[in-house]
Amino acid sequence: MSREGSLKVYQQKRDFGRTREPSGAARKTRRSVENMFVIQKHAARRLHYDFRLAMDGVLRSWAVPKGPPFVKGERHLAVHVEDHPLDYGGFEGTIPKGEYGGGTVMVWDFGTYRVIDDEPVHAFESGKLRLELQGKKLKGEWTLVRGRQRDEEESAPWFLIKTGESTRPVGARRDDQSALSGRTMKQIAGGKGEEAPR
């Protein structure tokens, strides 16, 4: 599928005359972001963490309601959602009420990833991505696994599992601090420091 086709669902869900989210029109060189990951804390109808991996010209994305696990063997549901444009990885701000995903978005963590023992696209298609993350907050190994499809009407669930060694959980203060701008969720929602360097 082409990059444009992959972003069709993302673009159909949003009114770019109202939201400041990237439309996907801007292009970035794959070399500059091909191994980028970003996690965005998203206070929408329900608080969750959006886990995104740059791959094949887009950000493959999962919504993780409980956030990343830290104890070896612990697994959290990761709902596979539509692909996002690469420049979404730098988006931090508010989505207007009434728009899809309305609420506050923080760049909670970002950095680089490596798929262990496989090629990223093949690992994604096969339903198992064993990842080594090097971020501002997360460092170590996690695995994304696609579970079994229960029926034809529902897509198969994914899970984010802490593999490798357990790691120290992110404390409450750092959990509420942007890895990009240093702002809290409250500051982002209020527009404070909006022009902070990105």
Provide the pLDDT for residue 149: 75
In a domain, residue 155? The reply is yes
CA R_g for the chain: 16
Statement: residue 122 has pLDDT above 70? yes
Total structural domains within the chain: 1
164: DSSP letter: S
pLDDT at residue 198 in the model: 39
What residue numbers bound the domain in which 148 lies? 3-189
Stated as kind and residue range, the H or E segment containing 143 is strand 139-146
In a domain, 183, yes or no: yes
Residue 197's pLDDT band, with cuts at 50, 70 and 90, is: very low
φ/ψ of residue 126, rounded to 5: -80, -15
Q: Which amino acid is at 138?
A: L
Q: Nearest-CA neighbor of 183 among 111, 112, 108? A: 108
- Based on DSSP, count helices (H) and strands (E) in the chain, helices before strands: 6, 9
pLDDT computed for residue 196 by the predictor = 43
128-182 pLDDT, tens digit per residue, is 999 999 999 999 999 999 998 776 666 789 999 999 999 999 999 999 999 999 9
Report if residue 146 sits inside a domain. Answer: yes
Q: Which of 158, 91, 79 is nearest to 124 (CA)?
A: 158
Would residue 197 count as lying in a domain? no
In a domain, 32, yes or no: yes
Q: What is the pLDDT of residue 4?
A: 56
Distance separating alpha carbons of residues 113 and 17, to the nearest angstrom = 33
Whether residue 194 lies inside any domain: the answer is no
Q: Measure the CA–CA gap between 7 and 80, rounded to whole angstroms.
A: 14
Answer whether residue 196 is part of any domain: no
pTM of the model: 0.90
Cβ within 8 Å of residue 129, ≥6 positions away: 53, 115, 118, 120, 123, 143, 144, 145
Residue 198 lies in a domain: no
**Cα distances (angstroms) measured from residue 16 to each of 93, 105, 154, 155, 189:** 14, 16, 29, 28, 19
Could you report the per-residue pLDDT of 38-93, keeping only the tens digit for each?
Answer: 999 999 999 999 999 999 999 999 999 999 999 999 999 999 999 999 999 999 99
- Write down the residue that tokens 């942007």 correspond to: 178
